[in-house]
Structure 1
Amino acid sequence: MITVFGSANMDLAAYVGRAPKLGETVTGRDFRTVPGGKGANQAIAAARAGAPVTFLGAVGDDAFGAEMRDTLAGAGVDVGLLRRAPGVSGIAHIVVDDEGGNSIIVVPGANGTVTGPTAAERDVIAASQALLLQLELPMPAVTAAARAAREAGVPVILTPAPAQPLPGALLDAVTLLLPNEHEAAGITGAADPGAALDKLLERVEEAVITLGSQGALYGSRAGERLHVPAVPVKAVDTTAAGDTFAGALAVARAEGRPAADALRFAAAAAALSVRREGASTSMPLRAEIDAEIG
């Protein structure tokens, strides 16, 4: 079982030919509300990739909260411990251009009420094969969940996004750090991904730096280094590519796949996701990923 401790947001997505500049108004061609949030996205991605998944977090007592709970459950994610907080759910305002690029504003809502895992949630974490974390919950909550997993001997995979300073107490509990190249540069001060990878491995046991169309770099303190190319694809919407990669990677690792195979599995899942619009709606099923790998 994989556990995700993280955010659930309703994505309010506007599709435009090009994103507006500051002070500019442009006319969009479409608008959609799609359940998302980095935590919920990773949970759905992992479930669709073939793993039993439990999601821990909070939604509001509004209509968005009910819809997000139903969406997670409909994807096969266990939401038995998903909290219902008074007030509004988290939302993400997303602008997607015709090149598939995006810009996002997140308003935490109910996510901001999560201060750490409850006793019941700690029990679920301790029984997991992996814990997936992101940074859309308050940092003390993320750190507490990571430490609970570490104390139970459960591997911790952290996507350090949205980018922000990472406390030592959190990094000390992380097994695998999964930044994109911009986040890796921000964390380490090294613009070159290879140099950034070396610096990350001074803090964590393993790291993967995703490089968009250039694939991904993997390294471990044991000395293993890999570059896995991306699957060539014409991107329609990259909104959930990183979360899809993270969820699929967690599944592959839980299945005991070697690093190279796990990364290829994750890259195939991410490539499938960017061919479709939306976040949770774009994530591929296990059969699709297996077919993409061949």
Structure 2
Amino acid sequence: MTGIAVLGSTNMDLVAYVARAPQPGETVTGREFRTVPGGKGANQAVAAARAGADVMMIGAVGDDAYGAQLRSGLEHAGVDTDLLHTAEGPSGTAHIVVDDSGGNAIVVIPGANGTVTSLGPGEMAAIAGADLLLLQLELPLSAVLEGARVAHAQGVRTILTPSPVQPLPDQLFDTIDLLIPNEHEAAALSGHVEPHAAADALLRQVPEVVITLGAKGCLYASRGTEKIHFPAPEVTAVDTTGAGDTFVGTLAVALGEGRSVPEALAWASSAAALCVQKPGASTSMPYRSEIDAA
């Protein structure tokens, strides 16, 4: 079984469903509100666990009621939470507005995630013993960089989702094996809006790139090979929250199992397509049997 360490955020998603998102200064009436376990790190951990990996979550929750719920949700999904620490104060939260087209706007409050500024011996050992490390940018950059350095030194394949996007140091790029931005993040990091040009620029910093393009699928590029554009399955989206994390988590499992890039992209795209057809983030992520049957 593929062993995946996830160094990342754990949030409670506070989700409001509306016909359309409000403009600045405007108030709209929503039709539903839900609290759903989330956070990019936790979402990727759940996606990978449901897809069949042995997953260790590294991060922190608060000592509030949300923290207990978040830990319980991860454990229910089969994720090991021994290195998910409890910090004083509130857990991280994400305030999400989902409109009738399935689009979303998100404000993240780090909470306990902001306390993860460095790694201890246990965290380093877990990363060193994994087959792959998944990283995002909802933890302090110092911890992300430290985790990537440990993985790189031990030959652990490292995948970074650069979200929320921010300028990144060369020291981090130098330790990343696969970068998975969406098209907006790719443009911000590369200075190129067009995905092919963005991929070319990013390949000067990392060996492999997958740019996710929403309903248009994804673009894979690696040094010295032809790019692959992989179309997304045609489905009716209900809620796109968590689709990118589902894609990353399941792609990591497929790559860890030694599948070819086209096969891995197809499998991850099927998982993301299943995710967007249900509301919520972690709650909408498919199980391995569902992905295989898609």
Alignment correspondent of 1:177? 179
2:48 corresponds to which of 46, 49, 54: 46
Alignment correspondent of 1:222? 224
Whole-Å separation in 1 of the counterparts to 2:155 and 2:28? 51
Alignment correspondent of 1:240? 242
1:266 corresponds to which of 265, 268, 274: 268
Q: Using the TM superposition, give the Cα deviation of residue 224 of structure 1 relative to its aligned residue in structure 2, in angstroms.
A: 3.8
1:140 corresponds to which of 139, 142, 159: 142
Partner SS state of residue 198, structure 1: helix
Whole-Å separation in 1 of the counterparts to 2:120 and 2:158? 18
Is the deviation greater in 219-228 or in 277-286? 219-228
Whole-Å separation in 2 of the counterparts to 1:210 and 1:256? 21
Q: Using the TM superposition, give the Cα deviation of residue 223 of structure 1 relative to its aligned residue in structure 2, in angstroms.
A: 1.6
1:186 corresponds to which of 188, 194, 197: 188
TM-score in terms of structure 2 length: 0.98
Q: Any runs of at least 4 consecutive aligned residues in structure 1 with deviations exceeding 6 A, and if so which?
A: none
1:252 corresponds to which of 234, 251, 254: 254
Partner SS state of residue 239, structure 1: coil
Give the number of equivalent residue pairs. 292
Identity %: 63
Q: Is residue 231 from structure 1 mapped to residue 233 from structure 2 by the alignment?
A: yes
Whole-Å separation in 1 of the counterparts to 2:168 and 2:185? 11
Alignment correspondent of 2:160? 158
Alignment correspondent of 1:85? 87
Q: Deviations over 1:40-95 (max 9, x none)?
A: 00000000111110000000000000000000000000001111000100000000
Partner SS state of residue 143, structure 1: helix
2:36 corresponds to which of 34, 49, 52: 34
Alignment correspondent of 2:106? 104
Partner SS state of residue 20, structure 1: coil
TM-score in terms of structure 1 length: 0.98
Unaligned runs of at least 5 residues, structure 1: none
Q: Using the TM superposition, give the Cα deviation of residue 222 of structure 1 relative to its aligned residue in structure 2, in angstroms.
A: 3.3
Unaligned runs of at least 5 residues, structure 2: none
Alignment correspondent of 2:123? 121
The alignment yields a C-alpha RMSD, in angstroms, of 0.6
Partner SS state of residue 215, structure 2: helix
Amino acid at match of 1:27: T
